[in-house]
Structure 1
Amino acid sequence: MKVFFNELFDYNFYCNKKIIDECVKLGKAPEKSQELFSHILNAHHIWNSRILGKPSEYDVWQKHDIKDWSDIHYENQRNSFEITTNADEFDKRIDYENSKGRLFTNTLQDMLFHIINHSTAHRGQILTDFRNNGVDPIVMDYIFYKR
């Protein structure tokens, strides 16, 4: 399971890095894309914090300056690898509060997979926003990453 999640987080890191690089290259990324990518970073941070039992430093829709994305992204990745490396039981249940203060319990495996899946969904929205703003979308299919 550790190898599986490490590979997924590598892929997630690769895709997010491509978006960061493209937005830096553009100089001024589309506003909606900036909001969505900040949200990806925030959600990843929030889920890592829940798993680690630490308070979150970010709000769900807090917007970050593009110049800060790489540092936040790297820290998210580092924390996710720490989690997967130190995990003994991926079916361990973790209690947490959502952003509205409601209590939930999910397995570590479910929470880690959610981080990946959530990021993928919003990257798709970003690529649609790119296209709608005349920016060629980036190829980020998993199979291309593996080639």
Structure 2
Amino acid sequence: MKHPALQAYEYHVWANKRIFAHLKTLPTDVWSTEVQSVFPSISQTFVHIYITDTIWLSTLLGKPFDEVKTSAIHLSEKIKETSMEEMEQLFLNSSEDYHTFFARQENLDAAVSPEHPHFGRLETTVFELIQHVVNHGTYHRGNITAMLRQLGFSGTSTDYIFYLYAMSGSKK
């Protein structure tokens, strides 16, 4: 049986892939069309999810806050105009980086203590940080669904239960 951290992360990857697959069925301008929402476009929402995923992987790898922050700022500037295909590839690469981390991590329940200059030291576990990454992605995939509806398109279901059905081989 898979550890819950790995299972949760694999759901995150699956859900992102579902959104990208759905977006490919829509007009190409949907990716960057500006809307009134949490983020100005679907593309910028994905930039935010991706940056956050990289921040937390860097944190799990033990990188100091200042290095993580500087890297995130540079990365944000570098990818702000990324095409959907390029962004999809970035997510694929990120998932490979996360899976490399999982393969090297002996204990996904291990204690970790990231430090933040404003919030202080957090005593948590690898699993809880992965759960945060997944929850964060789920929240913003919901934003994307709302954006799609605002643009006159339906979303695609990325609920966890549909992931479980997909992984079990059942029809949904």
Q: TM-score range by the shorter chain?
A: 0.7 to 0.9
**Aligned residue number for residue 59 of structure 1:** 73
Structure-to-structure mapping, 1:1-147, within 5 angstroms: 2-25=2-25, 26-28=27-29, 29=31, 30-31=33-34, 32-54=41-63, 55-56=67-68, 57-59=71-73, 62=76, 63-65=80-82, 66-98=84-116, 103-105=120-122, 106-147=124-165
Q: Percent identity?
A: 24
- Quote the RMSD (CA, aligned, Å): 2.6
Tell me the matched-pair count: 146
Regions of 4+ moved over 6 Å: none
Structure 2: give runs of 5+ residues left out of the alignment: 35-40, 166-172
TM-score (norm 1): 0.82
Deviation per residue, 1:14-66 (Å, 9 max, x gap): 11112223334431224322211111111011100111134444339932512
Describe the shift of the 1:18–1:33 C-alpha distance in structure 2 as closer, same or farther (beyond 3 A). Answer: same
SS at structure 1 position matched to 2:114:
strand
SS at match of 2:152: coil
TM-score by length of 2: 0.72
* Larger of the two Rg values belongs to structure: 2
Query: How far is the alpha carbon of 1:2 from its aligned partner?
Result: 5.0
